[in-house]
């Protein structure tokens, strides 16, 4: 008979190589660059947005000037600029940069009807008014009538 001696068989598993240290760092950098390149190629496509816009039917004659928006700031009891020259059809925004609310009202000699902020303008807000008629229009802060300004519409 043969002497057969049982032996313990151990199966050795092959270890997968691991990436650590600087190799892992560079692999993450390369992965981020690839993802960034994909994002730029997908999101960076330009679209021709102007093709779907309607064509304007109204033409502006060279004599007609486009309307503009002007801003008058109020701070520390002073309107700036105090005197403003604009054209008919322009809009003026009165912006309250002060701490307390203000109310803009047309002056007593002004023939402009409806030039009133119809309530308080809180800090950081504004009131807009479009001047259609030519003339000189005074305005003041209803909370303190000494705080005044003038708008000259040509």
This prediction's pTM: 0.56
Predicted pLDDT at 125: 92
> Alpha helix (H) ranges present in 3-70?
22-43
The answer to whether 134 touches 153, Cβ cutoff 8 Å, is yes
- 28, 32, 43, 44, 69 from 35: Cα distances, Å: 10, 5, 12, 13, 45
Percent of the chain surpassing pLDDT 90: 38
CATH number at 69-153: 2.60.40.420
Domain ranges of the chain: 69-153
Q: Give the tens place of pLDDT for each residue, 49-61.
A: 444 545 555 445 5
Q: How many CB atoms lie within 10 A of CB 138?
A: 16
pLDDT digits (tens, 9 = 90+) for 28-41: 889 999 998 888 87
pLDDT tens string 61-101: 556 678 899 999 999 899 999 999 999 999 999 999 999 99
């Amino acid at each position: 008979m043969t002497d057969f001696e049982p032996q313990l068989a151990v199966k050795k598993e092959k270890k997968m190589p691991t990436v650590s240290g600087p190799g892992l760092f560079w692999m993450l950098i390369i992965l981020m660059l690839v993802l960034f390149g994909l994002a730029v190629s997908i999101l960076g496509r330009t679209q021709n947005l102007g093709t779907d816009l309607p064509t304007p039917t109204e033409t502006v004659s060279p004599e007609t000037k486009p309307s503009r928006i002007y801003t008058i700031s109020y701070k520390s009891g002073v309107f700036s600029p105090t005197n403003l020259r604009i054209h008919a059809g322009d809009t003026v925004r009165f912006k309250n940069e002060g701490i307390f609310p203000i109310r803009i009202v047309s002056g007593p000699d002004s023939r402009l009807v409806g030039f009133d902020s119809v309530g308080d303008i809180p800090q950081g807000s504004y009131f807009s008014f479009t001047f259609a008629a030519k003339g000189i229009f005074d305005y003041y802060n209803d909370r303190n009538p000494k705080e005044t300004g003038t708008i000259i519409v040509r």
